[in-house]
Amino acid sequence: MRVDLKIVYTSQWLDVNLAGHFDPEENSLKGTMTSDGNRGEFVFKRDPDFVRFYPAPSLIDARERWEFATTAVLDRIRRESWSPLYILKRIKDGKRYMDLAIRDDHYGRKLNEDEDDEYTTLFSSLYENDVRFYASLINIKLGKVPIQCVDSHLWGSRC
């Protein structure tokens, strides 16, 4: 999306013309600015998490900008870091997901309604990379399972 802006100041500041495009994936506005013959590039990013720490414009000096930057980065790190309880819960959920997936897909035993709901919930709560990882572990585990066909019945997997 093409965007043209003009910022007009009422005091001694020079007027600024901005021309660029909006990138919806990054939620940013990028382009070039011109002011009294000078050119430069600009990037405006909207990150609501950071905006809440931004000081009032009348208070901005180097110390305030530095405090804003450190506070915003520390807040993001705290939010993205995982507690030991969260990691243990993910490991437990992954093991349970593997057990249910192996029973449902490979042993031919259908899950009951509660187990099926639990399987669906676990599957939707996992990240895509986790699902790939668990699928590889399931393949390794199934490589160690003995499979026997007796009277057209397969024990350990489908016939």
**Domain-wise residue ranges, the chain:** 1-46, 48-81, 84-155
pLDDT, tens only, 75-125: 878 777 777 888 888 899 999 999 888 887 666 667 888 988 898 888 888
Identify the residue whose tokens are 């031919």.
108
Q: Contact at 8 Å (CB) between 45 and 55? A: no
Angle at 133 between CA 139 and CA 103, to 5 degrees: 45
What's the rounded Cα separation, in Å, for the pair 138 and 85?
25
pTM for this one? Answer: 0.43
pLDDT, tens only, 9-36: 766 777 788 888 888 877 778 888 887 7
Residue 92's CB is within 10 A of a number of other CB atoms, namely: 10
* Choice among 28-37, 54-63, 146-155 with the minimum mean pLDDT: 146-155
User: Which of these, 5, 41, 1, lies nearest to 24 by C-alpha position?
Assistant: 1
